[in-house]
């Protein structure tokens, strides 16, 4: 992502030249997203994903660098919730 700076924006991080770094250009705590070619949030926003879809992408993307199998279990749980929201409990998706 190209770095974009604004002179007067209250929410960003001030950099040495007095400009403000955009939120998508930094990560609070850790580096598990910064090293990616595209962060899960940017991917989700550009593809109009709902919150369940975004959360699944987030957990699957970071599992090797953050919480391992715990993140994969969280992704599975989110997939199950998405299936219930989309198809209901009685549609037999577990069969």
Give the max Cα distance, the chain: 59
- Residue 1, in any domain of the structure: yes
pLDDT digits (tens, 9 = 90+) for 4-61: 444 444 555 555 555 566 666 666 656 666 677 788 888 899 999 999 999 999 999 9
3-class SS of residue 14: strand
Judge if 36 and 81 occupy the same domain. yes
Q: How many CB atoms lie within 10 A of CB 40?
A: 20
Judge if 36 and 77 occupy the same domain. yes
Judge if 59 and 36 occupy the same domain. yes
Asked whether the whole model's pTM tops 0.75, one would answer no
Residues with Cβ within 8 Å of residue 66, at least 6 apart in sequence: 30, 32
């Amino acid at each position: 992502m190209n770095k974009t700076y604004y002179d007067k924006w209250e929410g960003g991080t001030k950099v040495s030249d007095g400009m403000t770094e955009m939120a998508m250009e930094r990560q609070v705590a850790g580096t598990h997203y910064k090293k990616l070619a595209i962060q899960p949030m940017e991917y989700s926003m550009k593809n109009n994903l709902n919150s369940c879809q975004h959360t699944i992408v987030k957990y699957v993307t970071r599992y090797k660098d953050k919480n391992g199998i715990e993140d994969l279990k969280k992704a599975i749980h989110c997939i199950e919730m998405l299936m219930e929201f989309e198809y209901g409990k009685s549609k037999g998706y577990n069969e």
